[in-house]
Chains A and B, each alone.
Chain A
Amino acid sequence: MKHYLILHLRAALNSLGQLSQKRVATLANIIVIAIALALPAAFYLAIQNISNASRGLGESTQVTVFLQTGADQSEAEKLAKKIRLRNDITDVDLTSKEQGLEELKDYSGFGETIAALEENPLPIVLQVQPIEQLNSASQLDQLMAELRQFPEVDIVQLDLMLVERLRAMVNIGHRVAWILGVLFCLAVIFIVGNTIRLELQTRHDELEITKLMGATNRFVRRPFLYTGAWLGLFGSIIACIIVAGIYTAIQTPADQLSGLYESAFQLQFLTAGELFTLLLTGILTGILGAWMSASRHLQRIDAFD
């Protein structure tokens, strides 16, 4: 056991020494690896935050009922009362034609155009809030179908749709993040593999002599695996720093945006587990790249005739 530890410690330090002798080349490699790892990580972080933001929206499942333009205020109030009596409804909020027009003026930016209208074209709108237990799609469909039965009702719309669409897009985003992650990991494997391949070529004689002195392939391969691991580790540490930099740069405008929506949403950084995964991914892809190159090279040395 001690013997094994000695071999590993020597290989680890040896490879670190080799890397530090070629500072510029090593640094260039580490930065390329860092960028390759930072891109999918940053994308993942963005998707994760959009996902968090959409979670806040999901809690307000509302049904919006647009009445016929012909329906007047008293008819609307009567209908609202009727709907409020249903036991699957917690509240109904009535927006009159005038209120609707005011809101449109305030929020749309077409205030002057709207003021020029001779007649209010907007319908009266009822915001219907179902009870919390009513959350399955079929139950909501049933409710919406019943609301459509009232003669005053024109259109019934479930606000959930928007949230659902956003969620679906976030799901696609997550998947894209994973695909990017895999592709960039492959890139890291090849970057490290190529670096190690060049290193093996320049040290070919040394490896051959070492093997003649009784070194096993494992012994010869080991320092190169450590080189891959170091490159991956340093690359992923810098990738973490890059992602942290992007996060810091976006934080202030994100908070402002969140403030405008009066949302409690706050930008989240990668969790400790996710950071650990990033570091581990860097190390493992580094080792894998080195292993592929070193094994191929050693096979060539071993080939007889």
Chain B
Amino acid sequence: MLEFKHVTKRYPGGAEALSRINFSLEKGEMAFITGPSGAGKSTLFRLIAIMERPTQGQIILDEENLSDVPVRKIAYVRRKLGLIFQDYKLLEQRTVFENVALPLIVSGYETDEIRNRVHASLDLVSLLDKEHRYPLSLSGGEQQRVGIARALVHKPKLIIADEPTGNLDEKLALEIMSLFVRLQQVGISILIATHDQHLIEKVDSRCLVLENGSLVKDTAN
């Protein structure tokens, strides 16, 4: 599903954010990425979402080489992804419903289908009763769950999540993790960046450890 081949990302000024990263993630596989801040997790995510291009190496997503994707096709690649951000990135002027519907709206889904899918997705994160609220009237944990619902709603092939449980209490965090496990079972690949060692131990999944831009440990090997 996702494969990094000798991927290096160097920023202008010389700093190497990622050096020769190699790993692959199968369909329906879940993996954690961990490591100190500044280790390159965000850069890795930005490369997958084609917000940046690698300096060297190749990233293969769903049999497509991301380096070869022209600018006008980037949107179609992103529709295969479910992105969960640490800072949620919700539209403050739009209701919870509209936020979750966004990936469907941009792909031109019909209104009925949008309603059904958004409701199903909100139900998975237990926020069905808050669909008409605006993000700023919700707690941090609730906003985080809106972001998660938005990442699921269009049935992506790969979910990449940056600290998806950072603002959730342990009970909710475990609920979200069990939701991820269920998604994984229906064939969605999931890549989760987290600092939460406790969570990693509990879920017992593959773990990639980044340090100074290098992959220092991969529990799959």
Chain A residues engaging chain B, CB cutoff 8 angstroms: 2-4, 6-7, 10, 205-206, 209-217, 219, 302, 304-305
Contact = CB atoms under 8 A, between A and B. Distances in A.
Given A10-B105, A214-B107, A219-B106, 8 more contacts: A4-B108, A7-B108, A212-B83, A213-B150, A216-B72, A216-B76, A305-B11, A305-B52
B116 to A, nearest CB: 16
Given A10-B105, A304-B53, A215 B75 contact: yes
B108 A3 contact: yes
Contacts of B18: none
Contact of A6 (B12, B106, B108, B154): B108
Contact of B51 (A212, A214, A217): A212
Contact of A215 (B11, B12, B106): B106
A3 B83 CA distance: 25
Contacts, number: 59
B91 interface: yes
B106 A305 contact: no
A206 B91 contact: yes
User: Which of A3, A216, A302 has most B Cβ within 10 Å?
Assistant: A216
A213 B78 contact: yes
Contacts of A216: 72, 75-76, 106
Nearest to B156: A214
Contacts of B201: none
B110 A214 contact: no
Q: Give 5 nearest A-B pairs by CB, closest first.
A: A214-B79, A215-B106, A214-B78, A216-B75, A213-B103
User: Which of A2, A211, A212, A213 has most B Cβ within 10 Å?
Assistant: A213
A213 B89 CA distance: 11
A87 B83 CA distance: 95
Contacts of B12: 305
B132 to A, nearest CB: 17
B210 interface: no
B192 interface: no
B117 to A, nearest CB: 14
Contacts of A3: 108, 110
A6 B76 contact: no
A7 B105 CA distance: 8
A305 B12 CA distance: 8
B140 to A, nearest CB: 18
B92 to A, nearest CB: 8
Interface string B95-114: 00000001101111011000
B49 interface: yes
Interface string B46-58: 0001011100000
Contacts of B137: none
A3 B93 CA distance: 25
B71 interface: yes
A214 B71 contact: no
B72 A212 contact: no
A36 B53 CA distance: 46
Contacts of A219: 75, 106
Contacts of B79: 214
A289 to B, nearest CB: 23
Contacts of B93: 206
